[in-house]
Structure 1
């Protein structure tokens, strides 16, 4: 059985330490070991890159990974989106999913 992931924004990091999550946003910068993601709620999140990471600055991506105690996310896999993403709508959807989980 596949592990369950929780969609989050930067506001949910504290409550998801140690859990598998999915977070979407725009990649602001990248170094050899980390990237900075501007999440859908406009908060910045440090991504600890996996060995095969393809994340590049100025792309919109969804990262699946585990939230570390320092509130960074260890990337397991990621997907990039070809078109624009409505960050405000995505952030609202994630918040609604946390508030009304039984509907999702």
Structure 2
């Protein structure tokens, strides 16, 4: 797989990126102190360790952060994406991006 700065991933792909920076498009499920529980585009739940002063306000966000383990991301930045996002379409796109047939298009 090509090296790139921050690929978009779903929850199933997190174990492949431990220690690396990723982008996780997701739906906010709940907040629990310094963490948020989100639903990734493939339906899996992920814990987000929020950054100081994070400003997550929308239902859908894209979290940019470092993968701590297979279910946790330490957030660097959160991008609010509104309250309407087709997570199935997002997931189909993520899977296509990681398909070896198309990696040169997305990660050249």
Give the TM-score normalised by structure 2.
0.87
Note the 1:1-104 alignment, pairs <5 A.
Answer: 4-56=5-57, 59-69=59-69, 71-99=71-99, 100-104=102-106
Is contact 1:37–1:46 with CA below 8 Å preserved after alignment? Answer: yes
Q: Runs of 5+ in structure 1 lacking a partner?
A: none
Is contact 1:27–1:60 with CA below 8 Å preserved after alignment? Answer: yes
Deviation at 1:70, TM superposition (A): 5.3
Measure the CA separation in 1 of the matches of 2:29 and 2:90.
18
Measure the CA separation in 2 of the matches of 1:25 and 1:70.
16
Give the 4+ runs in structure 1 shifted more than 3 A.
none
**When the two structures are aligned, how many residues end up with a matched partner?**
101
Give the TM-score normalised by structure 1.
0.90
